[in-house]
Structure 1
Amino acid sequence: MLQEPGDIEAEFAQIGVKRVVKKFLTFRTPGPFHFPKGKGFGDSPDAPIVLPSWLSEEDVNYYASKFEKNGFTGGVNYYRSIDINSELTAPWIGAQVKVPVKFIVGDLDLTYHIPGTKEYIHNGGFLKDVPLLEKVVVMEGAAHFINQEKAEEINKHIYDFFQKF
């Protein structure tokens, strides 16, 4: 069951959609995302956010316009329903992915730094669950939005991978 907007959406509204979008897209701290209740992103609301070369003000304005129209509740509800998602996918625990795979992640991606993730990826757990894993690529200097941050490199990896078939 989806929930109505709650506390986090109210905090995002106080911060402003455009600033929230900028903060999420420029987050490059390899560790858990920290959003202390009532303290926004923990920085001054007036602190400038420097956009990287791959992200323009026009891009930010586009994304912000979509979130201004629809809000953040849909995305936030994914995390609110983690337990339900786990229950619904329980029948597939232990199932293997049996298609060729090339896995690409940024070294600054916060999901790569969740405790146990690197060990799982690099010490055999991932290969056990994905037996046709052909390659793991950890892109240096890239965070969660690698398709934007390193577009040419990602396109080359995808193209080269598909050429095998």
Structure 2
Amino acid sequence: MEEIKHGMVGVNGIRMHIAEKGEGPVVLFLHGFPELWYTWRRQILALSSLGYRAIAPDLRGYGDTEAPSSISSYSCHHIVGDLVALINSLGVEQVFVVAHDWGAIIAWYLCLFCPEKVKAFVCLSVPFLPRNPNIKPVESMRALFGDDYCICRFQEPGKIEHRLPTEVLKNILANRKPGPSCFPEEKCFGIDPENRVTLPSWFSEQDLSFYATKFNQRGFTGALNYYRAMNLNWETTAAWTEVQVKVPVKFIVGELDMVYTTPGIKEYVHNGGFKKDVPLLEEIVVIEDAGHFINQERAEEINAHIYDFIKKF
């Protein structure tokens, strides 16, 4: 890991930490919740060895990147603004994007707002979710899944930030339960003191320590503010309702992924809705017996999928 270089870049009024390695066309890796640039460590090493410049930032509010205090500072426009400024700072016109979880959501906005910046997009876990003009997203999720749904639980500032990073990270990373993530108020993040979870084989105690150290320093507020800005994103993207994403895309998901197994998602992905909204969707890959964090759980397989797609461009 010492081969990976680290630096700070001024973007959109904040200081952003980036990890990078290699020379060649840029591959921009965007992490999700509750992760860091570190989730891409195996991809950075693999793609840099294949002739690419692999770059993974800590997104706004995470790790060593600055974390503005207001929820409104975590809108999709702010995050995309950070990424466009980062791309411009690299002196390139276009990048390949590989993104997972919340990183994927932000990448879809990047493709929607600035398709000229994205050569091709490898999306992990979260398909494009078109804007429903009739209902705000948090209200929609509450109606479908109730107050115990994780995104509904995350809405109230200060309510769950006090949870210990080590326990939170263990529970989220070890979770392989299909379907929407719901938990009662007393077991937020699914933490049950009576039943301690063990780490999956692909995530070591050393990895956990790296994550926990960063979240102990920064806390979870910045990361949770992405969820708290969801309704704001809905309000400020009305002009993009029914606009198609016109970037070449490969979509990869684990068959046990909590997003993929949420009611309605499989039908959207496989029955034509996804292709209608993303006409340049070239491939859908469902990885058997894999969960949500596939870039770590199946690193070599994902590396091969990324390379097989982007080498065509």
For the Cα contact (< 8 Å) 2:244–2:279, is it kept in 1?
yes
Q: For 1:109, give the aligned amino acid.
A: D
> 2:282 aligns to what?
134
TM-score between both structures, scaled by the size of structure 2: 0.49
Task: Go from structure 1 to structure 2 and tell me whether the alpha carbon gap of 1:103 and 1:162 turns closer, same or farther (over 3 Å shift).
Answer: same
**Helix, strand or coil: the match of 1:121?**
helix
Question: Which deviates more from structure 2 when the two are superposed, residues 42-51 or residues 92-101?
Answer: 42-51
Letter in 2 for 1:64: A
Task: Identify the residue that residue 89 of structure 1 maps to in structure 2.
Answer: 237
1:1-47 superposed Cα distances (whole Å, 9 cap, x missing partner): 4289511113x1xxx22011111111111111122112345564153
- What letter corresponds to residue 124 of structure 1 in structure 2? G
In structure 2, the CA distance between the partners of 1:8 and 1:135, relative to structure 1 (3 Å rule), is: same
Q: Which amino acid aligns with 1:137?
A: V
Which runs of structure 1 show a deviation greater than 6 angstroms over 4 or more consecutive aligned residues? none
Residue 103 to residue 65, structure 1, CA distance change in 2 (3 Å)? same
Asked if the contact 2:171/2:190 (under 8 Å) is kept, the reply is no
Distance 1:5 1:66, change over 3 A: farther
Q: Which residue does the alignment assign to 2:116? A: none
**Identical counterparts, % of pairs:** 59
After superposition, residues 112-151 of structure 1 pair within 5 angstroms as 112-151=260-299
How many residues were matched structurally? 161
Aligned pairs for 1:59-78 within 5 A: 59-78=207-226
Shifted more, 29-38 versus 151-160: the winner is 29-38
**Which structure is higher in RCO with an 8 Å CA cutoff and minimum separation 6?**
1
User: 1:112 Cα shift?
Assistant: 1.0
Counterparts of 1:1-165 in structure 2 under 5 Å? 1-2=70-71, 5-10=157-162, 12=163, 16-40=164-188, 44-165=192-313
Supply the distance in 1 between the matched residues of 2:268 and 2:190 (Cα, whole angstroms): 31
Where 1:155 maps in the other structure, the secondary structure is helix
Is the contact between residue 290 and residue 297 of structure 2 (CA under 8 Å) also seen in structure 1? yes
Which whole-Å CA distance do the structure 2 matches of 1:58 and 1:92 have between them? 43
Cα distance 1:55–1:103, how it changes in 2: closer, same or farther (>3 A)? Answer: same
**Structural RMSD (CA):** 1.9
Could you report, residue by residue, the CA deviation over 1:96-139 in whole angstroms, capped at 9, with x for unpaired residues?
12121110111111111222111110000000011111110111
Distance 2:190 2:224 in 1: 19
Q: Return the offset for 1:63.
A: 0.5
Residues 126, 44 of structure 1: CA spacing in aligned structure 2 closer, same or farther, 3 A cutoff?
closer
Name the one with the larger helix percent. 1
Q: What's the TM-score once normalised by structure 1's chain length?
A: 0.89
Please state which structure has a larger fraction of its residues in strand: 2
Native 8 Å contact 2:160 2:188 kept in 1: no
- Distance in 2, Cα, partners of 1:35 & 1:75: 19
- After the TM superposition, which of the residue ranges 46-55 and 71-80 deviates more from structure 2? 46-55
